[in-house]
Amino acid sequence: MQRREFVKSGISALATLAVGETILLSPQPASAATAALEPLSYKLNAGGNPRKARTDYRTAKVVKSVCLNCSTVCGIEGFVVDNKVVKIRGNPLDPNVASFMTCAKGQSGPTINSYPERLLFPLKRVGARGEGLWKRITWDEAYADMAKRIQKCIDDGHPERVAIHQGRSRYEAEFNRFLDAIGSPVLLNHRSICSSNKRAANYVSLGDTDWESIDAERCRYFLNFGSNFYEAHQGGLHFVRRVIKARFDHGAKLVTFDVRMSNTAGRSDEWFKPFPGTEGAIALAMGHVIMRENLHDRRFMADFVQPGEAKVREWLAPCTPAWAETLSGVPAADIERLAVEFAKAAPTAAAFTNRGTGAHYNGFNAERAVVMLNALVGSVGRVGGYCYGLEEKLTQQRYPQPLPLPPKPKVRTDLEDPPEWPLANRWQKMKVGQVVYDFLAEDRAKIEVYLSYTIVSPMTWPEGRSKTVDVLKSEKLIPFHACSDIIYSEMAHYADLILPDATYLERWGMDIRNNLELQHYVSLRQPMVQPPGEAVSFPEVLINIGKRLGPNQAKYFAYGDHEAFVREQCSKVPTKGPDGMEFKSGFDYMKHYGVYVDTSKPKAYEVYQRVLRPDQLEGSRVDEATGRIIKADASGKERSIGLMVRGEAKRGFATPSRKFEIYAPEVELIAGKLGIKDDGLPSFAQVPWHVGLADDRFILTTFKWNVHTQGRTASQKYLSEIVHDNPMWIHPDVARRLKVVNGDWVELTTYRPKSGALGDKAFRSSEQEKIVGSGRVRVFVTEGIHPRVVAVSNSLGWEFGGRASEGRKGKRSDALVASGHRETAKGMGPAPRFDDLESGVWWDKRAGGRGNGVNINAILPINPSPMVGMQSWYDTVCSIKKVEGKA
């Protein structure tokens, strides 16, 4: 098509786009003129200027649901007036929330529904992929197209060529069911760019959980390695509330190790800034002090720790505080003192981590070293200690899906199970998502139908604007791409079909998280309002596609719609509420309360000490050499179910040895097969390309603000008002060398890792220093950062996504203003008199504002860590050069 033939141009025209008409969507000023949706209510004051209308909450309908503006998934209550969500607050029945409190991201929820640049109709690409030319089509056309392509993969004997690539969807049950029904195992996720080293460390050590549930309110000593829980830790808001109570009501101490003065570091009793990637060495040195001073819990180690006191003492002997000081820069005297304080506070003490420790090339063993400290002092599972949750899954036994269930696929592919990282999928599906596009480019796997959901990989992936975009644009590598999204994102721009999604306030779903009060609970996500236009939630889309497939697949979707699916999941929830109210079904119970908390069982303290029942022991035997209690499962395979401890049959830990595994034979075995030097202990090896770092090279780290979550939040004006720019933090010593001051611009250049990492080669590494990318960024000079580190926050720098995320203000469509109504937007009502994005984007660079920041992920190298595959976000070597004048 020629540009003169376009029927419409700009997102503003979506509201009046008829079926069959064509539209141009691209990052240009035209896409900033819009009036697609009704915002929150406004009135005009006496001077004719807009003002926020006062809401009478007495007339509002209150609906309980679950937030999804980050992974904490808080229980919430929404106030609804005239089919608009006008207010969000916490659901006090949620045991983690336990109040009406929500964070800024939670408060911003209603603005998602009313965002003017929302997608309203299915769109089909009509130009070259990535050109931005679209035609409005019907849902029937969209379903028929997707079903036809998927059915062809099935009929050709290659169902694995259908893939779903999800971000934080909270719909793994629905997605797995769809893929199981068609025979594909390829559900790709983002865990390797988020938390897989942390989860893997807990699985190796404890065997029971993917995330700890520290008993914070009763803890008296917090030893924090790289967690910014005041802002960005999973469950951080509720963890913070409990930590504050412990500190200010009970005198608990908080010590933080972080290369940057985060909000958590700034609120700690003591803050230390170690050299990047050396947290594991500090933890091992603390372990050395604890064992040397005999401050360890001898009984716990004798009964439940592998390899036992003598071997641990011998292994830790060389890991002195002086050795750790040489590596980390943290004074040996402080390491000694903190180790003694921590041990003496046990068992009401917890050593814990987050990405600051885990997102390094050596992060897996660094995480294990920190978790080990809890085992040495006996605080694992204890009151006030390092506790962990149980049954944090939507199992078929407890939350059943509609029958029949499809069988699990038997085929595997390198795409979803890459052999280079065998621990990625050992305990749960932690797909190494950052290599997906590389593997497609290298023909390691083939995809015919690629369905993306909440992933926005051009924004959130390392090398997202280069490798990722190159593959997304290729019709040879990805013949068909359907993207479900709320806005016209950078992912949607490279799709063939755009499927307008419902927001989390407009759809169904079950959600589950670890309870900081150590009891099992589940929550219900239910629609507060109906989605606008023709938006449909992605699980509903998959159900509708499934019904259009052949009879062998369609039978698994005969139950109805997504609401019916969720209704069945709730069928075993009790019908009597905590206040004595009776309901017809568990579904009605969940709709009323929003959450179900199982108080029938004791809190999950010292679960490893629980005595096995006679029925559990029936048919078992004891391995005399190890004390393991072994029993054959339903398939006849023998498994360890417990441990003989001082003559009693105890549950133990859910590891192969049924002990807390400081030494993990499985890790040593797998490392040996890969040619990696690893003795199965959480030993320390420095990030290789950090050794002998040249004076003009620095280490780039990234971080999150408390108001942004990767690809979710920048389009919410309320949150982008708070943080829309991301200058680079540098130390004053570096600023003096570069002759820069606050507000100056520098050119930041990043490099690939060099070869020779821990016995293997880093991903796409080379002997020579090679540039990944470069960009210009403003500097922020502060002493709150390590002198060899520079830091840039992520989640900003959008090229697509509407005016708030792009940092563009603009006027409404003149045609819509004149008519006063949207001509074709189904059920949308009159056009708003006031558009807050017309002049409210005051950070627009064209008007003298600071702009919308930079996408730092675009110039970070793809760099999975060994065995587990977590992205080594915080290891990137970079150089800095001053830019004269304005950028």
Q: Could you tell me which residues are beta bridge partners of residue 75?
A: 66
Mean pLDDT value across residues 574-602: 96
Q: Could you tell me which residues are beta bridge partners of residue 9?
A: 24
> 831 pLDDT exceeds 80?
no
Distance CA(492)–CA(540), nearest Å, equals 19
- DSSP codes of every residue in 166-233: ESS-S-HHHHHHHHHHHT---EE-SGGGTTHHHHHHHHHHTSS-SSB---GGG-SEEEEES--TTTTS
Spatial contact of 202 and 354, defined as CB atoms under 8 Å apart:
no
> 832 pLDDT exceeds 80?
no
Spatial contact of 94 and 75, defined as CB atoms under 8 Å apart:
yes
pTM for the model stands at 0.93
Q: Tell which residue, 30, 86, 98, 852, has the closest CA to residue 515.
A: 98
Distance CA(599)–CA(593), nearest Å, equals 15
Give tens-digit pLDDT for 603-620: 999 999 999 999 999 999
Mapped onto helix, strand or coil, the DSSP state of residue 261 is coil
Hey, what are 421's tokens?
């990282």
- pLDDT, residue 45, reads 57
Mean pLDDT value across residues 266-282: 98
- pLDDT, residue 821, reads 28
Spatial contact of 371 and 386, defined as CB atoms under 8 Å apart:
yes
> 759 pLDDT exceeds 60?
no
42 vs 107 pLDDT, higher one: 107
> 318 pLDDT exceeds 70?
yes
Question: What average pLDDT is seen over the chain?
Answer: 90
Q: Tell which residue, 784, 878, 863, 876, has the closest CA to residue 259.
A: 784
Most confident of 196-200, 255-259, 418-422, 806-810: 255-259
Characterize the bridge pairing of strands 771-781 and 876-883.
unpaired
Give tens-digit pLDDT for 363-417: 999 999 999 999 999 999 999 999 987 667 889 999 999 999 999 999 999 999 9
Distance CA(513)–CA(242), nearest Å, equals 17
